[in-house]
Amino acid sequence: MTTSRSARWFQLLVLGSLLAFVWLWILPRIASTGAVQNHLRLLDERNINAGAMFYTEVQEQR
Binding-site size for other proteins (CB under 8 A) equals 35
12: region left, alpha or beta (phi > 0 left; psi from -120 to 50 alpha)? alpha
Among 1, 2, 4, 24, binds other proteins (CB under 8 A): 24
Residue 33 near residue 41, CB atoms below 8 Å: no
Q: Is 11 in the site for other proteins (CB under 8 A)?
A: yes
Alpha carbons 3 and 11: distance in angstroms, whole number: 10
Residues that bind other proteins (CB under 8 A): 5, 8-9, 11-12, 15-16, 19, 23-24, 27-28, 30-32, 36, 39-40, 42-43, 46, 48-58, 60-62
